[in-house]
C-alpha cells in the first residue's frame, strides 16, 4: 500500500512556501559561503559522484550543501537517488527504508524507488521496511528540495540508520554495491553534520583529521579518528556506508568541496556545528 510522508521540518529548517523555498535554495548557491553560481539544470556529462552533505537548517548549512549539489548538477542526471541519514530520534528499526509511496515537500512529491528498495531488502538481513523510523527525521528530508530544484521529478530510496556501528555501516555499503548494478545511473548521498556544540576552533581541530580519513576512504581509521578526537558527527554510519560503497565501485578520487561551521555563517563562534560537502568521483 502506498503512502505519503509529509514534511517534518518545512517552515523550520527550510521555507514552507514553494517560491520562497526556491529563492532560499538559490541564495544558498549564491552565498559568499556557497559556490557562487546556480546549478546546471539541464545536466552535464559523466557519472554522478557519491556525496557527503550536511543537514542543518538551510540558513546554516545550506551554502555548504550547495557546493555538493552544484557538482552533482554538472553530471548526467541519475535515474534514482539513495539518501542515507542517521536516526536522531531513536525511533523504529535498526536500519529502515520507507515503504512504497512518496515524500511531499513544498516543491512537490518525491517517489520512492520501490524496485531498488526491494533489492536492498532482499540482499540485506539488517535493512527493513519501516515507516515509523522516518516520521520525524530531518536528515534525509532536507536533501530533497535541493534535488527537486535541480531535477524536478525525483525517484529515491531513503535509508535511516539507528544502528551506526562499523559492522552495520560496512554491511550497508556492501548491500548498496550489490543492489546498484549500474552506478552511473544512481546518485548516493550520505547526510551528516560534523562536530556539534564546541567553539569554532575546537570543532575545526576535531574535524580536520576525521576529514582526512574520509578523503582517504579509510573507514576503520575514520571511526578511530572520531573516537580519539571526540569528533561528534551525527551521521557517521551514513558516511562510512557511502565510503565503503564508493570504494567498492572504484570511486577513489575524493575531494573536499567546502568545510565551514555555523559560526562562519552566523558570526557566533562560541558553540558551533561543523558542515562538510565531499564528493567521491569515478576514476
Q: Is 34 exposed, middle or buried (0-12, 13-18, 19+ CB in 10 A)?
A: buried
Predicted pLDDT of residue 47:
92
In angstroms, the CA 7 to CA 54 distance is 18
**Residues 13, 142: contact at Cβ < 8 Å?**
yes
* Phi and psi, residue 47, nearest 5°: -65, 150
* Phi and psi, residue 244, nearest 5°: -65, -45
Predicted pLDDT of residue 2:
67
DSSP 103: E
Q: Helix 166-179 and helix 219-229: axis angle, to 10°?
A: 150
Q: Which domains does the chain have, with CATH numbers?
A: 3-281 (3.40.830.10)
In angstroms, the CA 191 to CA 202 distance is 22
Tens of pLDDT, residue by residue over 12-29, are 999 999 999 999 999 999
DSSP β-bridge partners for residue 83: 158, 189
The Cβ of residue 281 has, within 10 Å, a number of other Cβ atoms equal to: 17
pTM: 0.97
DSSP notation for 240-256: HHHHHHHHHTT--EEEE
Predicted pLDDT of residue 45:
85
Task: Name the stretches of the chain with pLDDT < 70.
Answer: 1-2, 42
Amino acid at each position: 500500500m502506498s503512502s505519503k510522508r509529509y514534511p517534518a521540518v518545512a517552515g523550520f529548517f527550510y521555507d514552507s512556501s514553494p517560491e520562497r523555498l526556491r529563492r532560499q535554495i538559490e541564495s544558498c548557491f549564491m552565498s559568499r559561503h556557497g559556490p557562487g553560481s546556480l546549478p546546471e539544470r539541464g545536466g552535464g556529462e559523466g557519472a554522478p559522484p557519491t556525496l557527503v552533505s550536511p543537514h542543518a537548517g538551510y540558513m546554516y548549512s545550506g551554502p555548504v550543501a550547495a557546493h555538493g549539489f552544484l557538482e552533482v548538477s554538472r553530471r548526467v542526471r541519475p535515474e534514482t537517488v539513495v539518501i542515507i541519514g542517521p536516526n536522531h530520534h531513536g525511533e523504529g528499526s535498526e536500519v529502515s527504508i520507507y515503504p512504497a509511496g512518496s515524500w511531499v515537500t513544498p516543491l512537490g512529491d518525491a517517489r520512492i524507488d520501490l524496485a531498488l528498495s526491494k533489492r536492498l531488502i532482499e540482499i540485506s538481513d539488517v535493512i527493513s521496511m519501516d515507516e515509523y523510523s522516518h516520521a520525524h527525521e530531518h536528515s534525509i528530508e532536507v536533501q530533497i528540495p535541493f534535488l527537486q530544484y535541480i531535477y524536478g521529478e525525483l525517484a529515491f530510496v531513503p535509508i535511516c540508520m539507528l544502528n551506526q556501528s562499523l559492522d552495520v555501516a560496512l554491511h550497508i555499503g556492501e548491500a548498496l554495491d550489490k543492489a546498484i548494478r549500474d552506478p552511473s545511473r544512481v546518485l548516493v548521498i550520505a547526510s551528516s553534520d560534523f562536530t556539534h556544540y564546541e567553539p569554532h576552533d575546537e570543532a575545526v581541530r576535531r574535524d580536520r583529521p576525521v576529514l582526512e580519513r574520509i578523503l582517504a576512504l579509510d573507514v576503520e581509521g575514520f571511526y578511530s579518528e572520531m573516537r580519539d578526537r571526540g569528533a561528534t558527527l551525527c551521521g557517521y554510519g551514513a558516511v562510512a556506508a557511502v565510503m565503503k560503497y564508493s570504494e567498492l565501485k572504484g570511486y577513489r578520487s575524493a575531494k573536499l568541496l567546502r568545510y565551514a561551521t555555523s559560526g562562519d555563517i552566523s558570526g557566533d563562534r562560541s558553540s558551533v556545528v561543523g558542515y562538510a560537502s565531499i564528493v567521491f568521483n569515478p576514476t
